[in-house]
Amino acid sequence: MSLQGKVAVVTGAGAGLGAAYALALARAGAAVVVNDAVEAAAAATVARIEESGGRAVAVVAPVGSTETAQALVDTAVERFGGFDVLVTNAGILRDRSLLKMTDDDFDQVLAVHVRGTFTCVRAAYASFKDRGVAGRIVTVGSPTGQRGNFGQTNYAAAKAAIVGMVRTWALEMARAQVTVNTVVPVAATAMTRTVPYFAAAVEALDAGEPIPDFYRQDLGFGTPEDVAGLVVFLASDEAAGISGQVLGAGGDRVQVWSHPEPVVTASHAGGWDADTLAAEFAPTLRENLQPVGERFPDLPAELVRTPARPGA
């Protein structure tokens, strides 16, 4: 898979998944504009790319504003002579249960994830159309946006919104042959380090050992690098015609997520009033209630880790 001659922009590329995407794109031959809100983090990713013989430049700014989005596009064109690939990875968390979540908690997460994705994609698409480039856009979703998760009202709303925008953009961009998709990553990050369920996987990573097969195969959970291959593929010419899709990646597993479709349909002459619904449709509804939240299988006994007690 070669991206030789391509120029990519990756937001939130200072660490974790974003850094893995930037490094993988560079290894495939792309020049990379590395965006992050933290200067030292962006510089570190640029240095890693350059040490491996790649080309990269940092743009330090939080995403969300039109000005930042345009600066990313302009930097790609001015420094590397073109622009072909956008990966909108930047994101933040402000986890709180509903009654504890403030307006700022909600607004900040949507500003980065939703507005940041919107402004960057808008600027990228304008550039692609103006220059006649069949560009590639890769947005980043989450299982939380697909299924919900306790304490993440803002994050769930943001990630679900990204998928909704992608379905719309795929329709709008088809004539220009620009593709836009969402990747749903499942990988070891700073967030998963604190979750007891993943303790054995984190323990293996810290020891430089392979993640146990249960995580990689049964759960589809691995390293950021396990997700990066899908991003490189979607950024390539090989992915022409693949657009508007939600694709999961993690560990040894890749997935195609379905788009919402009715699971059961019923009709009643004259329409449904509340009493008729209760009498005739409620039993069918109860038999077809859809699950919410992520449901993990039980850990094998050998992977169970008991958290240390405070002060122990």
Name the residues annotated as catalytic: 142, 155, 159
Crossing angle, helix 116-131 and helix 66-80, to 10 degrees?
40
The DSSP symbol for 8 reads E
266 three-state secondary structure:
coil
Question: Using an 8 Å Cβ cutoff, are 205 and 193 in contact?
Answer: no
**Nearby residues of 284 by Cβ (< 8 Å), 6 or more positions away:** 264, 266
Contact (CB, 8 A) for 113 and 182? no
Task: Tell me how far apart the alpha carbons of residues 127 and 186 are, in angstroms, rounded to a whole number.
Answer: 31
Residue-wise burial string across 271-282, b where 16 or more C-beta atoms lie within 10 A, e elsewhere: eeeeeeeeeeee
Count Cβ neighbours within 10 Å for each residue of 58-93 and write b for 16 or more, e otherwise.
Answer: bbbbbbbeeebbbbbbebbeeebeebbbbbbbbbbb
DSSP 100: G
